[in-house]
Structure 1
C-alpha cells in the first residue's frame, strides 16, 4: 500500500474521482507471473492467446511457462539476478518467455528487434545479458548472430516462427516463405543455439524461487534511446504488479474474463507490456496479437475477433481516423481505446469520433513509472487537452523548473511522481539515478499544471523547451495550433539555432491526402493563434515525418536533418 506522506501536496483529484473510485487503495504487488499462473488455474480451458488464428489456452500457457522456467534453470543456470534478453515481436513465444524468465527468478531485458546491432549491443552488454531469446526469421536472427560473434551475448534460445502459426498457415509458410528463415546449419554460432521447442519438450519442473517483490528486479527496461545513451530502468516485481493493479482498478469492469484485448503495440515496449500483456492475462482475458501494424490485416482482425479493448498510440488512431476505407462497422466492437506514448491532439480525437463511438481516453506515463501515472476517466468527466487524473495510489506535484519549489494550482512546473510503480533506479548508474529524483519524487521532465479538480495538463518536455529571445516557447503549443488547420495531418516542431533570437521554432508538417496549402497560408493561419515569439521561422513540408519504433513522432531525426541541411548552405 502507498503510505501517506505528511509533506504531500493537496490532492484535489480525490474529491473529483469517478463515483466509487478510491485513491488510498491496497495495491496488489504479488509477482506478475504468480498472478498470471493463478489466472491460468482458474480458467484452464479458456483461450489466452490468439496469433493469426492459432490459439493457446490458459492451461497450455501455464504448462509452457513452467516448462520453460525449468529448462532455463537446468540448462542455463538462470537464477535470481540473471539477465535474459528478449528480442521478440508479438508472438506466443513472448509471453511464455517473459513469464518463464520471471518464474525462474531471472530479470527480463526487452530488446526491440528493429534496433541496430550497436544499439542492441549496448543494451545486452550494459545489462550483462548472456542469454538472448529470439526468432529464426533471418532479419532478426542475423542481429543475434552478430551479437554472439562480438561476445556481447553467449547463448541464443531460438523460437521456430512457423510453430506459432495455425496448421494451414504453418504449412503454407514452410512452402512459400522458407527463404525467410535463418539457415542454422550455415550459421557460425550454431553451437551456441538451443531450440525453444526442445526446452519445452524437456518438461522440467522449476525449483521454487522466493521473490522479494519490493527489491527483486523483474524487468530492466531501457529508455532514452531517442535522446541519448539508453539507461536501464530497474522495475521491481512490485513496480510492475502495482501498475497493472492500479490501472485495472481505474478501468473498473473492463479487465475481466470474457473481454478481449487487441495487441498490435509491441510487448517489448513498456506501455504495451502493461496494458496489452500483464493487465489482460492476469484478468483472464484473451489477447489477440499482431506482430506489426498493417492496416488491411489489422481491420480483418477487428472484424474476426471483435475486441472491446484497444491500447493505441496517436499514429495508430490517426491511421484509422484519416483513412477513407475504414468504416464504423469495422470498429463497432471496441468499447475502450487507451491512447499513450505521445500527446493526443484534440483534432484527432474529434476526427476519430466520426468513425467510432468507442470511449477514447488519454493516458500518461513513462518507463520509470512502469509506466502509467495519469489517465482520463473511463466513466466520467474528461477535459479537453488533459491527460486525466493520477491513478489510485499515485501522488503527483508540480515544482518550479528553476527553483524546485512546489507551485500552486494552475501554475506551470515540472511534473513529479511518487507511487508503488516508481522504479528503484537506473542500473549501474548512480549519478543518473540521483538526477532522476528530487526529495524522493521521480522527475518526469514534463512541464504542465493541475487544475482545481486534479486534472493534469502538460505543456511540453523540459528538454524540448525553446528559449527564444529569453522567452520560453513550447513546441506543443505550436503543434496544437497547426493541428487545428484542416489540411494538416501531422506536425512536429523543433528548436534550431538562430543568430538573432538564440533559438527559434521550425515546424515540420505532413499534409492530409488531396490537401494543399503554402507556408504563407499556414503562417497567416497561425498569426491569429500564436504570438510573434511562437511563430515558426520556417515551415517545412514532408511526405512523412520520422517516428520512433512504436509510432511516436520523433524530434531527434528532424534536428539532425535540419543541422545537415544548414551545414550544406
Structure 2
C-alpha cells in the first residue's frame, strides 16, 4: 500500500488510511446531534442562538411544509441565502423532505439566476426578501412552483429585529411588503404554523442526490455537480479524521465561508452539525466585525480562504484583538502564500495549512497535516481512501515523480457526474478517476503541488470566475466586436479579472460604460476590474483567441515593472 501511496508513510498514527463510512442520509447528522447535544447551542447569529433541538425541530417543520406544497423525492429545492439560521434549516429540511438541494449564490443577477433555476429544474426557491425583485423578474420563465421568503430580521434578537428593517431600507433602498399567496409563502408563517411531523423518505445514500453544486468549466456555462448523500457524508468524516485533536461537542466553528460554496457547506456547516459544534454564522466578510467576533466568541476551528486571512492580518486594529482561541484552519479555494501562513500562526498560536479540492469532490481531496509534517507550497497529501496520480496529457500514462501533468483523483467523495451532461461527465470521469483539469506534480514523498490550471478558470478572492461567461456579457454590448477575459495577478484577491476589448468600427465606449453594463448582468466579483482596448487580439490560425498569450504578456509586464522598481 505504501509503495502505491507513498504519502501514507507520513500519516500520523491518529489518522487512519481507511475509514468505515456511515451509509446514511446526510441529515442523520442533525438528528443525532439533536439527541446527543439537545440543549447545546448549535447556531450563533448576530446575538441570537438556537440549540440543536431547535434547529432540528425547525428543519422538520420545513420538511413538512415542502411535502405539503408537493415536493417529491428527487425534486430540486433551490436555496438563495447568505449564512444564516435559515440557510442551515432550509438545507437539512429539504434533505429530510427527500429533495435535492441546489445552492444559489445570493449575489447572482437575473440572467445567472434564471440559468441555474432552469438548468436544475428547481420547483421551490427559498430566498431573502431583499432578493425578491430579482427573483420576481425571472420567475415566470422558470419551473418554480413555490417561493418561500425570509428576512435577516426573522432571526435577530430584540431590539435588532426592530431596528434592522430601517437599516436595510437605508442600505439597499428596497422595501419588501410580502403578499402571501398559494405559491408565495412567508418563512415566519411556516415556522409558526407547520407541524414538525413529516413523512420520512427512504434514501439510498450511494445513489440518491443530496446536492447539485454548480460549477463552471471550459464551456463557460455552469454545470450541476451531482453529489450523493454518501459523497458528502464521506468527505465530512474525512475532515473529522484529519483534525484528530478536535473534540466533538466542544469546538466552536467560525462560519464565514459561504454555504452556497461547497467548501463552506462541508467544512463549516456539515462538519459543525456532525461534530456537535456551535457554528458562528457570519453573512458577509467584514474584517473589523470578524476580529470582534473571534475576540468575543472564541472560535477554535476556522476554515477559510487566503483573502480572508489576508484581510484580517492587514487590518490596522489587529493588535487590539485576541485571536488565540483559534486552533485549526484549513485554507482552500486558492494558493496560500507562505508569509500569510507564518504571520497568521504567529498571531493566533494555531495552525493554518493549505488544502485542495473541487466541487466535483465534495470538495476536499488533499491537505497538509495540521499538526504533523507539512510542506509550504504543497497542497499536501491525499486524504483517507483517496487516491491521486499525475497523468501525462499526451500519453495518458502516469507521469514520473516530479513531472508535470494533469492531476487525477479517486475516492468516495468523487461525484456521480454532471447533471444532464453525459458527454462532459465522460470527459472527466474515467474508470472511477476524476481528471481535475489542474496541472501539477508529485514529489518522492507523495506530496502534491499545483502549478497551473488546464482550464481558464480565474480564482479571485476564493470565487471561481469563468472567462467565457464574462465574455458572453461583453459581446452583448453594441460597441464590442471581440472580447477576451483572463485572470491577472492581484496581491489581495490572488487574481483579478481583466478584459481585452476590440471595438467595432465607428463605435466608442469607455471603461466606465462597460463597467456599468457588466454590473447589470454579472455578480460584482465577476465584473472586470481592468480593461484594455486593442486593435486586435492574438489568435491561432483557425481564429481561436489565445488567452494564454495574454496571460503571458501580463506576467512579462509585471516582471518588467518589478525590475524597474528595484
Question: TM-score over 0.5 for the alignment?
Answer: yes
Give, in angstroms, the shift of residue 107 of structure 1: 0.3
TM-score (norm 2): 0.80
Aligned position for 1:561: 531
Deviations 1:46-75 (A, max 9, x none): 00000001000011111101111011111x
Distance 2:456 2:220 in 1: 14
Number of aligned positions between the proteins: 486
Q: Secondary structure at the match of 2:389?
A: strand
Write out aligned runs for 1:211-226 (5 A).
Answer: 211-224=203-216
Give, in angstroms, the shift of residue 193 of structure 1: 1.1
- Contact 1:73–1:79 under 8 Å retained in 2: yes
Aligned position for 2:46: 52
Out of 69, 73, 81, the residue aligned to residue 88 of structure 1 is 81
Distance 2:266 2:492 in 1: 33
Q: 1:131 to 1:214 in 2, by over 3 A?
A: same
Aligned position for 1:171: 162
Structure 1 unmatched ranges of 5 or more: 466-474, 480-491, 495-502, 513-552
Deviations 1:413-442 (A, max 9, x none): 211111110000000010110011233210
Write out aligned runs for 1:186-335 (5 A).
Answer: 192-200=183-191, 201-224=193-216, 228-254=220-246, 256-327=248-319, 329-335=321-327
- Please tell me whether residue 43 in structure 1 is matched to residue 37 in structure 2: yes
Which moved further from structure 2: 351-360 or 396-405? Answer: 351-360
Q: 1:112 to 1:177 in 2, by over 3 A?
A: closer
Out of 448, 453, 466, the residue aligned to residue 461 of structure 1 is 453
Out of 3, 11, 17, the residue aligned to residue 17 of structure 1 is 11
Out of 101, 108, 113, the residue aligned to residue 106 of structure 2 is 113
Distance 1:54 1:356 in 2: 26
- Contact 2:255–2:281 under 8 Å retained in 1: yes
Give, in angstroms, the shift of residue 20 of structure 1: 2.7
- Contact 2:218–2:455 under 8 Å retained in 1: no
Give, in angstroms, the shift of residue 556 of structure 1: 8.8
Give, in angstroms, the shift of residue 226 of structure 1: 9.5
Deviations 1:343-366 (A, max 9, x none): 112232234344332201111000
Structure 2 unmatched ranges of 5 or more: 468-483, 494-523, 539-566
- Contact 2:324–2:347 under 8 Å retained in 1: no
- Contact 1:227–1:556 under 8 Å retained in 2: no
Q: 1:225 to 1:141 in 2, by over 3 A?
A: farther
Which moved further from structure 2: 249-258 or 80-89? Answer: 249-258
Out of 47, 62, 69, the residue aligned to residue 56 of structure 2 is 62
Deviations 1:473-499 (A, max 9, x none): xx99xx9xxxxxxxxxxxx9x9xxxxx
Distance 1:156 1:506 in 2: 37
Aligned position for 2:427: 435
Q: Secondary structure at the match of 2:87?
A: helix
Distance 1:554 1:150 in 2: 25
Distance 2:218 2:246 in 1: 33
Distance 1:9 1:338 in 2: 27
Distance 2:352 2:269 in 1: 20
- Please tell me whether residue 142 in structure 1 is matched to residue 129 in structure 2: no
Distance 1:156 1:463 in 2: 36
Out of 75, 86, 92, the residue aligned to residue 99 of structure 1 is 92
Give, in angstroms, the shift of residue 555 of structure 1: 9.4
Give, in angstroms, the shift of residue 197 of structure 1: 2.2
Q: 1:323 to 1:174 in 2, by over 3 A?
A: closer
Distance 2:270 2:247 in 1: 11
Deviations 1:107-145 (A, max 9, x none): 0000001011111111100110021001112xx121111
- RMSD over aligned CA atoms reads 3.1
TM-score (norm 1): 0.79
Distance 1:308 1:66 in 2: 29
